[in-house]
Structure formats: structure tokens, C-alpha cells
Structure 1
Amino acid sequence: MNGFIHSTESFGTVDGPGIRFVVFFQGCPMRCQYCHNPDTWEFHTDTNGLGREVSAEEILNMYDGVKEFLKDGGLTCTGGEPMAQLGFLIELFEKAKERGIHTCLDTSGITFNPENTAAVDRLMDVTDVIMLDIKHIDDEEHKKLTGQSNKNILAFAKYASDKKKELWIRHVVVPGITQNDHWLHELGVFISGLKSVKALDVLPYHDMGKVKYQNLGIDYVLKDVEPLSKADAVKARDVIMQGIRDGLMAERNK
């Protein structure tokens, strides 16, 4: 089976444990206002025709070419949304595990269907770590921010937790949108119910993707929003952590 990818990176240091070979999948059903990879939105090629069709073996051959440099790392699939090409992703991870390669899935979980998990069950069998992006904890606000509901995303988080998959939760804090103590606290309460979370990355919003939007002729909705400071990101993380503590306390007091 072939899949469509945008590009690869041979020395990823923020894409899971260790140094990793990163595959950027082509295609995503969401349109996050702060997305810094709008060139991965289209499912076959981006608007400049940069996407390309590859096989799982081609990707693993590329991996083999740099594996000596991937200290304590492995293979990470990101995007775009890799689970939107589920069959290809499963084949890639299955072949990777046959070679003893550590696998990491960087996903929003947007394509998850809780009514039909057979294929995702198979994916989980060959996935070591999940980096899960939760864009907004409130469904209506999530729709404004991404154009999609968050219901399947939150369902995927619970599903992965039930599967005891190692979860790294990621959340981007955007001034005026997700920089909100109420929603940050509610996110923490939700995370408190997940039993396999190993890391929480609270990322400050940045506008480094502006140039891509200009080059693609796409309006950048957040052009007037200033980047968030690292200090404010730390404060936001503190609020989420308090929500986690409050959620755990409430569960113990039931």
C-alpha cells in the first residue's frame, strides 16, 4: 500500500523520545487557525504539488539510512493527520515493529470513530507512544478554532488511555482563545481521568507560519494575535496542573 507524505525529517528532537526520523503525512480534515503546516492540508498534494506518493518500504529504507544517528529514538508519524491514512499508517508501523523500531504517533485523533475501532485496535498494537494534540476542551470553542468538533478527539484520548498507551498531551495556548483559566482548568480535569499520561507539553502560540500562508495565498486569521510568552505558557501549565489535581481529588472523594 502507498501513502501520501509531505516530507521527512531525519533528526527530530521534539517529536517523541530521543532523536527521531519524522514523517509528515499529507492531508488533514481540520483547519486550525494557528496551524503552522497549512501546506499539509490537502490529501494528495499541497497547493504547490509538494506531496508525494511513497510505500512503507521506501520510508523504512530512508530510516535505515540514518538509523545510526537516531539515539534512543525511532520513527514518528505526524502531519497533516496521519490517522487520516489509517491503512498506510498501520502497514508502516507494523513493518517498523518487525524491524524493532520504536513508533510514535503524533495525532489530533480527529478521525477516530468510537463506534468502529477494529482498525485502530490494530494500530495500537504497533504504537509505542501517542503524542495527542488537544486543541480546545470546549466543543463549541473547538469548532470555532479548528472547524471540527472535539468529541471524537476526547473519545480517542479515553480510548488510548483504556488501551494503556503512553500518552503525551500537547496543548497550544493562544491569547484570547485558549489562554483562559476556566478552559485550561477544565482541560486539566479531563486529563486527570486519563490513566496513561506520561507528559504534558504546554506550547506557547507563535506566528512563524505566517509566511507559509502568504506564499499559499491563504488568509492568516490570527495575524493580529501576538505570540505568547514562555512565562505565560508556564502560568497556563500551572492552571492545567491544578485542574488535574482537582480532578483527582474529586475522583477520590466520590
Structure 2
Amino acid sequence: MTAPLTSASTTPTLPGPAALAVGPRTPAAAATRRPVVGSVHSWDLSTGVDGPGTRFVTFLSGCPLTCLYCQNPDTWRMRDGKRTTADEIVAEAAKYTRFIAAAGGGATISGGEPLLQPVFTGELLHRFKHELGLHTALDTSGFLGVRATDALLRDTDLVLLDIKSWDRATYRKVTGRPLKPTLDFARRLADLGKEVHVRFVLVPGLTDDPANIEGVAAFAASLGNVARVDVLPFHKLGEAKWQALGRPFVLHDTPCPTPEQTALARDIFAGHGLYAV
């Protein structure tokens, strides 16, 4: 189920505007157009923070962020993924639809960053929703939110939005990118009334300043469409992948947060009227 681990060393080149056009979906057009192909790292059945219930999760390759605590640095380069058609992924998901439906789940597109491949992501979301009848979720940093078409978002029932820090300098330190595109995308989702689960990784000495957490919480509460906040305690389970890729894991000496630190962060979100877990 998982693509081979391969090396990663550079940030991928973003596809140009021409890649954003999605072809017609009429039966006649579908019979003649070329299969939609993407770069896929792996897929898995998951329960946890990938959306409600048991999920068929497709992990795409390629990400414009280089997060210091990334669990899957082997997904950073698009060219390291396996070229896969949407037909192949949908056929695989179809094997589990009855089980997924019984477990109150659905399908999630994750990564990497799915919006680095917006046409492929949009095709999968559309077919998961309309062909397989599954609840759909998009797991994204929001940095490439401008690449999400209105059609793609209509086929998305839930957005799992990672807001990694409120402090701008910390956000850039963590991700290598600016925060503003994520906030702009969050506001667009709010304007659309799209359900959002915010995810926040709690890293001692990096993102755990109460003022930083307060900033994320106040912003999330202001949107009106955030149904849940997942406070995710930092861990080092991905460190072996960094080592295998010959990359230094700069958070090697960073401790995992204590239960008390995690509870405090959740209390800050709850204090803003948000359901935090």
C-alpha cells in the first residue's frame, strides 16, 4: 500500500496556471479524454485525525513547505511519487466503500500537499463523492489555497487546515513559507461556509507560547466555520525517515509536550468557544 521510500532534497516546482484547468465531466467527454494522472506516495485506511470515522487516505507527493517536524519528508518531492491514474485510486477505494460507510467514514486527500496537484486532487474528490458516495476531506496547509477551484471545494465536505503558528516569524521558521496565504484561504473557506477542522502541532520551545496559541485560537474562533481543533502533540516518529534521507532532524533534542502542556493548549482553544481535542 505504500510507495518506496526515496530521497528528497529540493522544494518542488509549482505547476503553472495551465495545470489548473479541469476537463469536462460529461459521459461523452469522460469516454474520450485522457486519464487524469498524479504523483502518489501511498494510500492507507486510517482512523484518527484524517477526518471522521474510518478513512481511505490518499497521500500525494510534493509539498512547497519544509516543516521542521514533518512526519513524511519522503513526500516532499513530486518526482519521487508513483505516477498513478485517478481510475486506479478510485478502483482501490471502491473495494472498501461498504466498510467505510458502515464506520461513518469517507475519503481524505493528504500529502505532501494535495493542492500542489489541484487537477488530480479535484478529480479524486469529485469521484469519491459522486461515484462512490463518500464523505470527502482535504488535508492542506492552505499555502496553495488559491489553486483550489470553486468546483474542487464544492466536492470537499471538510477541510483539515493546518495552522502551524500565529507568530509570523515562527511560522516561517517552522515551514520556510509565509503565513498569509493560509489565513487568506481560511477566510475564503469561512465565506463559503465550508466546515473546517483546524490542526495545530504543539512543539515545546517553538509553538507553545501561550500568546501564539491565543492568536491561532482567536483567529479560528472568528471564522465561524471551525467545528473542531486538533491539538497534536509533537513527536519524533518521523525522525528515522529524516535520517534515511540524509537530512538533519533539527528537533532531535526537542522534548515532546507533557500532558499538562497539551491540556493547557486545549484549554486556550476551548476558552475561545472552540471544541478542542
TM over 0.5: yes
Q: CA deviation at 1:245?
A: 5.1
Q: How does 1:136-175 map to 2 (within 5 A)?
A: 136-175=165-204
SS at match of 2:108: strand
Q: Distance in 1 between matches of 2:188 and 2:49?
A: 24
Conserved 8 A contact 1:12-1:22: no
Q: Distance in 2 between matches of 1:191 and 1:14?
A: 18
Q: Distance in 2 between matches of 1:128 and 1:160?
A: 11
Question: Which deviates the most, 188-197 or 66-75?
Answer: 66-75
Q: Distance in 2 between matches of 1:236 and 1:14?
A: 17
Partner of 1:124: 153
Conserved 8 A contact 1:104-1:129: yes
Q: Distance in 2 between matches of 1:175 and 1:11?
A: 27
Partner of 2:142: 109
Q: Distance in 2 between matches of 1:124 and 1:34?
A: 28
Aligned partner of 2:227 among 198, 203, 210:
198
Q: Distance in 2 between matches of 1:155 and 1:135?
A: 14
Q: Distance in 2 between matches of 1:22 and 1:235?
A: 30
Conserved 8 A contact 1:9-1:22: yes
Q: Return the TM-score normalized by structure 2.
A: 0.82
Q: CA deviation at 1:229?
A: 2.0
Q: Distance in 1 between matches of 2:197 and 2:215?
A: 18
Conserved 8 A contact 2:62-2:112: yes
SS at match of 1:176: coil
Q: Distance in 1 between matches of 2:71 and 2:138?
A: 18
Partner of 2:110: 78
Partner of 2:88: 58
CA RMSD, 1 decimal:
1.5
Aligned partner of 1:134 among 163, 169, 178:
163
Aligned partner of 2:55 among 13, 17, 20:
20
Partner of 1:241: 270
Aligned partner of 1:44 among 72, 75, 79:
79
Q: Return the TM-score normalized by structure 1.
A: 0.89
SS at match of 1:193: helix
Q: CA deviation at 1:36?
A: 0.7
Q: Which letter maps to 1:168?
A: H
Q: CA deviation at 1:240?
A: 2.8
Which whole-Å deviations, capped at 9, do the CAs of 1:191-234 have from their partners, x for residues lacking one?
A: 12111111111111111111111111111011110111233111
Question: Tell me, which stretches of 5 or more residues in structure 1 are unaligned?
Answer: 46-50, 247-254
Partner of 2:98: 68
Q: Percent identity?
A: 39
Q: Distance in 1 between matches of 2:185 and 2:270?
A: 21
Q: Distance in 2 between matches of 1:239 and 1:64?
A: 41
Count of residue pairs the alignment pairs up: 236
Q: CA deviation at 1:101?
A: 1.7
Q: CA deviation at 1:153?
A: 0.4
Q: Distance in 1 between matches of 2:66 and 2:111?
A: 13
Q: CA deviation at 1:161?
A: 1.1
